[in-house]
Amino acid sequence: MNPKVILITGASAGIGKTTAELLMKKGMKVYSASRRGGIPDKDNNSNGEIIPVIMDVNNVLEIEKVIEKIISENGRLDVLISNAGNGIAGSVEDTSVDETMYQFETNFFGAVKSIQSCIPLFRAQGYGKIITISSVAGVIPIPFQAFYSASKAALLTFMKALYMEVKPFNIDCCTVLPGDTKTDFTAARKYTLQSQSEKSAYYNKMKASVGKMEKDEQNGMSPEVIAQNILQQIERKKMNPVVIPGIQYKFFCWLFNRLPVKISLWVIGLLY
β-strands 41-42, 49-54: how paired? antiparallel
264 is catalytic: no
152 is catalytic: yes
Q: Which residues of 14-49 are buried (b: 16+ CB within 10 A; e: fewer)?
A: bbbbbbbbbbbebebbbbbbbbeebeebebeeeebb
Q: Which of these is catalytic: 32, 34, 82, 134?
A: 134
91 is catalytic: no
d(CA 176, CA 133): 5
148 is catalytic: yes
Q: Please, what is the end-to-end C-alpha distance for the chain in angstroms?
A: 50
| Sign of the CA dihedral with 130 first, then 107, 145, and 229 last | positive
Longest CA–CA separation in the chain, Å: 62
Q: Which of these is catalytic: 31, 91, 148, 249?
A: 148
Strand partners, 42: 49
Q: Which of these is catalytic: 4, 113, 129, 152?
A: 152
SS3 of residue 51 by DSSP: strand
Strand partners, 30: 6, 50
Give the residue numbers marked as catalytic: 12, 134, 148, 152
